[in-house]
Structure 1
Amino acid sequence: MACGLGKYIGLALSKPNLDVNNLEHLKIPLTRILSATNVFSNTYRIAIHDDIQFYRAELDHYDKENHSSKRQNIVIVKRYPSNRRHEYSGEKQFLTEIEILSSGVKHPNIVTLLGFCLEDSEMILVIDNFSNGFLGSYLRNLKDKRLLTWEKRLKICIDVAHGLRYIHSQMEDQKMIINRDICSYNVGLDENWGAKIVYFGDSVFLPLDKKDEALCLKWIGRKSYTDPVYKKTNKVKRESDVYGFGVVLFEILCGRLAHDPIYLKESDIGLAHVARRSFSTRSLKELIDPIIKEEVCEIGFVLNRGPNKDSLHTFIKIAHQCVAETQDKRPTMNVVVKELEKALFFQKNNKDIPRMSLEDIKQATQNFHNDNCIGRGGFGKVHKGNFQDGDGFKTIVAKRLDSRYGQGEQQFLSELQILLDFKHENVIGLVGFCDENDEKIIIYEYASKGSLDRYLNDAFLTWEKRLDICIDVARALDFLHGGVGKQSKVIHRDIKTANILLNDDWKAKLADFGLSLVSPLVKETDYVIDHACGTTGYLDPLYRKSGFLTIESDIYSFGVVLFEILCGRSTFEIQKQEGHYLPEFIEESFKEGKHGEVVFEQIREQIAPKSLIIFQEIAYQCLHVDREKRPTTKKVLMQLKKALVFQVSYRNFMKAWFL
């Protein structure tokens, strides 16, 4: 080795307390790299960017830290120019990449440093493989570009946005990084077209006390991607990365690199200037890549599978904001991620999504008049309205987002996605949605009798009707938890009587999916959630305590609902009267043998003894502290049906007896 590692790291690192010995496990002997690449044979070389050579090879790897055996890995070998005496040798960039990527940076959309070699005159990084190469290569090649459908392009953008958001604001210990060289050739694509940011040679750590201030650093970068404020003032902020990413967004939209001669004819800045000008003159559609306008299905019929109008509008709007000429007008990466995910949502639901105008919704609800307000929840106010449907009127319900109540964009899109994908007779039906002028509204079918919590102490709601309602909800949960032909399941996370709606014939429909999560249909899949969501009094104590969410958490909440229906009192009313919520009240009552006393007095004489026993047993199992001992929705449904059978038989017997 020509020089000590500590000497060279000292040249580049901004953190003087780095223990060089901690990097020992990342060292890879040059002989192994030479063997893997056949002494850097052109056969293994996949690209040359900025004099850095990239090779794809199989490299046997021994994990020194975990003492694991050798295994073959397909990796990318990144070889920096070896002339260290040259002003632009890349030495500083090489050492900066080691610093950045070995400092705890860990994210699926950030390249992983597997090892490095600083030996003889060689400076080499070994990183994880991205088998589909660089994004920039696809934008230069017409044949390859056809592989990038609009939906695939959106997903690539979202991946890069997630990576940038992570280094800007989500790293541990409040560390932050400004990349300073976001461009299409610094985005790698893996075998599933997942995108990773692959270059950090010009990156800098942002001091903890400077997160909202600019760093004074000599301007570096590529002209067509560089923040004009940074270039003019040498002041770099996270917004400088946002600008570079905005240029990448427009490259993906237009299908050309930012420095394409067609853009340089108009401005030496390239694409960003042309995009801003076209946006202001409303001529940006002329720049859109014609390939994505002409996407066809496999048998050759045009299916309008290119950009959906709403998807395109959302994408262009956020891309334009990213390349704003001043830093204060650019969005954070958190906002960018949300908008791109919204664009993907619109694209995936290109045909099915029913969009309604804000003006029509205002007219239907008399401009959201308070007299038409029929409820309020975590999402905001719920308004009843009359929507013109042909020659008549259709009654609808409009749920209007108010972000002051804690929910927002993600909940809005999540609920729309679930209602579109999981349609069932016992799940509330989606009529439409509105996302216009900063208004986010979901339109549902109207359930004329309102929510179940209003009828708990209503004697008109007989035991038989209560069983029917319980069965309806169990059917909805069984559908959501089991998928029924779907590739995923839904965990509702907020099962309660206020979210069970009733129509004219008392048919029950489960509603309010703003907190719900969709999970792949993998057996025993657990979700780890940082903060438990739901309603106190219904919330699974295991979920609240550990943060682990499973479908059994819904079962627990449903158990609370079953006992509310039996007791004729809500968990909140019980808490006021008894000093604790329903689960503790039931636990104490059952321990004291007071099973019959918890039953709503006005329906007590209607209930068949066998029906009551079956109902109480299954409802009690739902509240078990051990989630593994809680029943499945299928078992709950089966037992509720059995309780109904005994109730109907008992009713017929009593009717015949008195006749």
Structure 2
Amino acid sequence: MDINYSVGKNLEHLKIPLTHIQSATHDFSNQYRIVNFSAGCALYRAELEHYDKENPSSTVLIKRYPPSGSKSYGEKEFLTEIEILSGGVHPNIVTLLGFCFEESEMILVIEDFSNGFLIEYLGNLKDKRILTWEKRLKICIDVAHALKYLHYEMEDQKMIIHRDIWSYNIGLDENFGAKIFNFWWAVFLPPNQEDDEALYLNWIGRTSHTDPEYEKKLKVKRESDVYGFGVVMFEILCGRLALDPIYLMESDIGLAHVARRSFSTRSLEEMIDPQLKEEIGENKFVLNRGSNKDSLHTFISIAHLCVAETQDRRPTMKIVVKELEKALFFQNNNKDNPKMSLEDIKRATQNFHDDNFIGGGGFGKVYKGNLQDGDGIKTIVAKRLDTRFGQGEQQFFSELQILLEYKHENVIRLVGYCDETDEKVLIYEYLSKGSLDRYLNDTSLTWVKRLNICIDVARALDFLHGGVGKQAKVIHRDIKTENILLKNDWKAKLADFGLSLICSINQETDYIIDHACGTRGYVDPLYRQSGFLTIESDIYSFGVVLFEILCGRSTFAIHKHEGHYLPDFIKNKFEEGKHAEVVFEQIKEQIVPQSLTTFQEIAYQCLHLDREKRPATKKVLMQLKKALVFQVSYHRFMKAKFLLSALIQTMTLTFVHQW
């Protein structure tokens, strides 16, 4: 059989001669064998030469299918693995380095897992103490990202169900990063398959990790992988394999049933790995090594949903990833955690009394309050989540994570937060002047003050987009004058991060595919049309804000009078050469020509329809500072000229008088 024809790709560069593999393993000697799978399938670790010019000799894993094939591990499964592993790259899916398909041999060569397999730590073959709570969380997040990719993010709308998620199919690299392998039983879902559709396939799997609905009804869905992953999560939490005798005493399917029962009776804490807990006080425990009860509760809650007995009650891997990242967030922010009690917040806001109500939006209502601060009182703002207004827990925890991790003088400061029962509240510092949109046509807001506000916001964006001191950058997604707050001295701070996204600086692509969101009149048209989000989308929105500040009118006011939003209004005026007509009449005489030209040029670049031609935040910041220098320098010059003129006049009068 021609394997290139079988998988529909040119894989000549991945072929490795059988003689090279036989030489590396001494003809598959037992001394190189590290795993015996069932039906004669085995895994070897060896130094393999010549297969990679850049790495002429590397330690690899050699996966040998039974030479004669078997019911579970035959040619079909072998070709499935090659097709999947050669079709895409993901950091949490094993890398295929090569294969051999000669004579009766079917062999895959994959990257080595220098820290072995997850099952070795859960089965007490290796020291579990090195698996701290943080490492366990990160392993779960890695696997969850891999499954999310397989289920939703592959090219050409492909979807894959792994069908064999268990701890032996999770390898650990040198940094304990987790990777899924063994795709022999994986199946492709048709493109554009709806979430409520399923494939009907003969049952195959492991009783302890297999979706019970699949086992009974032969109905395979993405939720079948979710179930297997849920079992793995409980194995990681409890430090025991799913078929440990302690669980089989209660149920023949092992851990999943016991975990569900213990969750319902609120006795699950008794099952947690002793390595993760220490007894204190009245038989209570705390997780050591940096974890806390918020992290534990979040982890257990999502794991329990994953092992629900019916597919329709299980979460998607998109939700699982978010919940696990939330658990890690709680764990990482255990120190200096500004969590507050609902009782204290109610006391500060007079139980969210209407007299304290100061505004609202997609998140919910916002209240002003007075919070006890040592011997004194400080004024705060409390934003209370109400899902009826459009946002939910995801936005709450996104904003909470950003404000805890990204602190800057021009970003609103988080005072605390509350997450109790059905109440989620964010507490911020109080900025006395409120939001910038109230002052666009205020004549007391001079051109110099307006420039300083623009510079403050540009500094905040430069910090967020640059990832200063972080391995990620923040895209705000809702830059507008309403989300720019002002202190009494007109210092500006960027606020409202509920729609913001954190993305890796080192990722291969510089965009995120996401449903467009934000505020009409500010949203990048390319993002709105295509769903491709980049940091340049923030630049576009900031360009709208810059012109609002210059025009003294909001994009909504312009839409009301002109029939279109500010970007089109500005474009029309500039194309007609009527640059001066967009300037707020009451401040026009204050502005120095060089300052105005510099400001308009950079603001107009921000609105470019080609995102590649929009300036970076550093350039925007530099040009805004230059506009301020032109403005201030001119006034200093005029002041000096006036003083010099007055001095000359005084000296002249004195001389005449003396004469």
Which category of TM-score, normalised to the shorter sequence, fits these structures? 0.7 to 0.9
The question of whether the paired residues in 1 share the 8 Å contact of 2:410 and 2:456 is answered with: yes
Query: Corresponding residue for 2:368?
Result: 384
**Closer/same/farther in 2, CA of residues 650 and 493 from structure 1, 3 Å limit:** farther
Shift in Å at residue 105 of structure 1?
5.8
Alignment partner of 2:445 out of 456, 461, 464: 461
Query: Corresponding residue for 2:613?
Result: 627
**Closer/same/farther in 2, CA of residues 321 and 516 from structure 1, 3 Å limit:** closer
Query: Corresponding residue for 2:61?
Result: 76
Shift in Å at residue 490 of structure 1?
3.5
Matches within 5 A, 1:85-104: 90-91=73-74, 94-95=77-78, 97-98=80-81, 101=84, 104=87
What's the TM-score, normalizing by structure 1? 0.83
Deviations 1:243-265 (A, max 9, x none): 22211111111112122233334
Query: Corresponding residue for 2:171?
Result: 188
Deviations 1:372-405 (A, max 9, x none): 5433444444343444445665433233445566
Matches within 5 A, 1:273-422: 273-293=257-277, 304-362=288-346, 364-365=348-349, 368=352, 372-390=356-374, 393-402=377-386, 407-422=391-406
Query: Corresponding residue for 2:208?
Result: 224
The question of whether the paired residues in 1 share the 8 Å contact of 2:148 and 2:317 is answered with: yes
The question of whether the paired residues in 2 share the 8 Å contact of 1:525 and 1:550 is answered with: no
Query: Corresponding residue for 2:557?
Result: 573
Q: Which shows bigger deviation, 569-578 or 210-219?
A: 210-219
SS in 1 for 2:368: strand
Q: Which amino acid aligns with 1:639?
A: K
Q: Distance in 2 between matches of 1:533 and 1:550?
A: 13
The question of whether the paired residues in 2 share the 8 Å contact of 1:219 and 1:230 is answered with: yes
Query: Corresponding residue for 2:35?
Result: 47
Deviations 1:193-244 (A, max 9, x none): 2222212333344567785356555544333323344445555544333222
The question of whether the paired residues in 2 share the 8 Å contact of 1:475 and 1:637 is answered with: no
Deviations 1:268-316 (A, max 9, x none): 3322233233323333223222323379xxxxxx994342211100001
Q: Which amino acid aligns with 2:118?
A: L
**Closer/same/farther in 2, CA of residues 79 and 644 from structure 1, 3 Å limit:** same
Q: Which amino acid aligns with 2:309?
A: E
Shift in Å at residue 347 of structure 1?
1.2
Q: Which amino acid aligns with 1:193?
A: F
Q: Distance in 1 between matches of 2:194 and 2:179?
A: 27
SS in 2 for 1:146: helix
Query: Corresponding residue for 1:38?
Result: 26
Q: Which amino acid aligns with 1:627?
A: K
Shift in Å at residue 184 of structure 1?
0.5
Q: Which amino acid aligns with 2:173?
A: D
Pair 1:248 & 2:232 matched: yes
SS in 1 for 2:561: helix
Q: Distance in 2 between matches of 1:550 and 1:330?
A: 32
Q: Distance in 1 between matches of 2:601 and 2:90?
A: 47
What's the TM-score, normalizing by structure 2? 0.83
Pair 1:166 & 2:149 matched: yes
The question of whether the paired residues in 1 share the 8 Å contact of 2:479 and 2:541 is answered with: yes
Query: Corresponding residue for 2:650?
Result: none
Q: Which amino acid aligns with 1:32?
A: H
**Closer/same/farther in 2, CA of residues 131 and 403 from structure 1, 3 Å limit:** farther
Query: Corresponding residue for 2:623?
Result: 636
**Closer/same/farther in 2, CA of residues 205 and 469 from structure 1, 3 Å limit:** closer
Query: Corresponding residue for 1:56?
Result: 45
SS in 1 for 2:140: helix
SS in 1 for 2:289: coil
The question of whether the paired residues in 1 share the 8 Å contact of 2:606 and 2:614 is answered with: no
Q: Which shows bigger deviation, 493-502 or 514-523?
A: 514-523
Alignment partner of 2:92 out of 106, 109, 112: 109
Q: Distance in 1 between matches of 2:243 and 2:506?
A: 46
Shift in Å at residue 458 of structure 1?
1.4
Q: Distance in 2 between matches of 1:531 and 1:239?
A: 23
Q: Distance in 2 between matches of 1:21 and 1:550?
A: 34
Shift in Å at residue 168 of structure 1?
3.5
* Unaligned segments of structure 2, at least 5 residues: 280-285, 648-659
Query: Corresponding residue for 1:298?
Result: none
Q: Which amino acid aligns with 1:136?
A: I
Q: Which amino acid aligns with 1:577?
A: H
SS in 2 for 1:632: helix
Deviations 1:136-174 (A, max 9, x none): 112223653222221111111112122223334444555
Query: Corresponding residue for 1:135?
Result: 118
The question of whether the paired residues in 2 share the 8 Å contact of 1:239 and 1:332 is answered with: yes
Shift in Å at residue 497 of structure 1?
1.2
**Closer/same/farther in 2, CA of residues 555 and 182 from structure 1, 3 Å limit:** closer
Q: Distance in 2 between matches of 1:88 and 1:616?
A: 71
Query: Corresponding residue for 1:156?
Result: 139
Shift in Å at residue 652 of structure 1?
5.1
Q: Distance in 1 between matches of 2:483 and 2:633?
A: 28
Pair 1:646 & 2:630 matched: no
Shift in Å at residue 350 of structure 1?
1.5
Matches within 5 A, 1:476-491: 476-491=460-475
The question of whether the paired residues in 1 share the 8 Å contact of 2:114 and 2:172 is answered with: yes
Q: Which amino acid aligns with 2:633?
A: F
Query: Corresponding residue for 2:541?
Result: 557
Q: Which shows bigger deviation, 384-393 or 270-279?
A: 384-393
Q: Distance in 2 between matches of 1:591 and 1:565?
A: 20
Query: Corresponding residue for 1:144?
Result: 127
**Closer/same/farther in 2, CA of residues 544 and 278 from structure 1, 3 Å limit:** closer
**Closer/same/farther in 2, CA of residues 532 and 270 from structure 1, 3 Å limit:** closer
Q: Distance in 2 between matches of 1:559 and 1:102?
A: 44
The question of whether the paired residues in 2 share the 8 Å contact of 1:229 and 1:235 is answered with: yes
The question of whether the paired residues in 2 share the 8 Å contact of 1:82 and 1:89 is answered with: no
Q: Distance in 2 between matches of 1:587 and 1:210?
A: 42
Query: Corresponding residue for 1:447?
Result: 431
Q: Which shows bigger deviation, 91-100 or 443-452?
A: 91-100
Q: Distance in 1 between matches of 2:67 and 2:165?
A: 24
* Unaligned segments of structure 1, at least 5 residues: 10-17, 296-301
Q: Which shows bigger deviation, 583-592 or 238-247?
A: 583-592
Deviations 1:109-155 (A, max 9, x none): 33344444343443322233333221111222365322222111111
**Closer/same/farther in 2, CA of residues 132 and 535 from structure 1, 3 Å limit:** same
The question of whether the paired residues in 2 share the 8 Å contact of 1:217 and 1:235 is answered with: yes
**Closer/same/farther in 2, CA of residues 178 and 578 from structure 1, 3 Å limit:** closer
Shift in Å at residue 361 of structure 1?
4.0
Shift in Å at residue 429 of structure 1?
0.6
**Closer/same/farther in 2, CA of residues 653 and 600 from structure 1, 3 Å limit:** farther
SS in 1 for 2:130: coil
Q: Which shows bigger deviation, 276-285 or 333-342?
A: 276-285
Query: Corresponding residue for 2:490?
Result: 506
**Closer/same/farther in 2, CA of residues 189 and 640 from structure 1, 3 Å limit:** same
Pair 1:431 & 2:415 matched: yes
SS in 2 for 1:127: strand
**Closer/same/farther in 2, CA of residues 638 and 550 from structure 1, 3 Å limit:** farther
Shift in Å at residue 451 of structure 1?
0.7
Deviations 1:422-470 (A, max 9, x none): 2222211112223343544322222222110111111232334323323
Q: Which amino acid aligns with 2:60?
A: V
Alignment partner of 2:180 out of 172, 197, 214: 197
Paired residue total: 634
**Closer/same/farther in 2, CA of residues 407 and 57 from structure 1, 3 Å limit:** farther
